Amino acid sequence: MAILDIKLDPTGFPVVWVQSINAYLHWLPVTKIQFEFFLCAEPSAQFDAQWYDDILQLNTRVSPQDITAANYWSAFLSGILPGEAGQFARWCGLGYAIPSLDEWRKAYTFLKTQPVQPQAISNALNQPGAPRLSDRTQRLINQLETVQHRAWRDVDFNAPNQADQMFMRLGVLEWVESTELLNRWGGMGQTHQRFHGGFFTPDHGQPSRPHDPENMRLHHYGFRLLWRPT
């Protein structure tokens, strides 16, 4: 099994090379821990304590060691507006962006053909010269991987793949951008029904289309970024 090409973003979370889009993609939907780095690095009136309180009202916070199959989605940041996600992308640096609908689809289509790789991140980062995860990040990734198998069993995912391993299904609905969408922004992915009921799945190919994506917070909407090093 090929070792994944993994780099770390400015928050120390992994991004993985996805050949089909010629870019790195976050291994996980952006987590609350990642966004908290942004909040602490650039405190602002926009992203103040009240803002984060409101976000946590929509999807509460869970510590890595407390993650279970019944709450793991609380580790991901959701309830965020696409404009706010864009600010996080800009803070991450050059080459980081919210994927377009087309990029997301291409990545998903490729990754769902790839097998699950147990301990994928640990193995990739166990190479000489590879960057190191912080203990907290490592714990979060390990815990998510542990509960993921239970979640797959719960929903009868009999043949999970790498896209599932990356929570492109059973994660959050992820913001994607497209000029073809009426409101510019759509959601790709699939939520666990205990988090948010619905029938959206990326396998149908169509994004969810929120009415007012730039103003209305949706508790099950999060995002991940792609990164093209410049």
Q: Which residues of this chain interact with another protein, rule CB under 8 A?
A: 12, 33, 36-37, 39-41, 43-45, 48-50, 52-53, 56, 61, 63-66, 134-136, 139
Q: How many CB atoms lie within 10 A of CB 65?
A: 9
Q: Which is nearer to another protein, 52 or 157 (CB)?
A: 52
Q: Which is nearer to another protein, 78 or 191 (CB)?
A: 78
Amino acid identity, residue 10?
Answer: P
In angstroms, give the least distance from the CB of 192 to another protein. 22
In angstroms, give the least distance from the CB of 11 to another protein. 8
In angstroms, give the least distance from the CB of 138 to another protein. 11
Cα dihedral 196, 199, 205, 209, rounded to 10, equals -60
Residues 6+ apart with CB under 8 A from 149: none
In angstroms, give the least distance from the CB of 141 to another protein. 13
Q: Which is nearer to another protein, 33 or 120 (CB)?
A: 33
In angstroms, give the least distance from the CB of 217 to another protein. 17
Strands 226-227 vs 23-26: parallel, antiparallel or unpaired: antiparallel
In angstroms, give the least distance from the CB of 227 to another protein. 20
Contact 224, 29 (CB under 8 A): yes
Q: What is the 3-state secondary structure (H, E, C) of 48-81?
A: CHHHHHHHHHHCCCCCHHHCCCCCHHHHECCCCC
Residues 6+ apart with CB under 8 A from 104: 174, 176, 188, 202
Q: Which is nearer to another protein, 55 or 176 (CB)?
A: 55
Helices (H), the chain: 32-41, 49-58, 82-92, 101-111, 120-125, 135-154, 162-165
Amino acid identity, residue 5?
Answer: D
Alpha-carbon span 46 to 51, nearest angstrom: 7
Q: Which is nearer to another protein, 137 or 165 (CB)?
A: 137
Q: Which is nearer to another protein, 2 or 49 (CB)?
A: 49
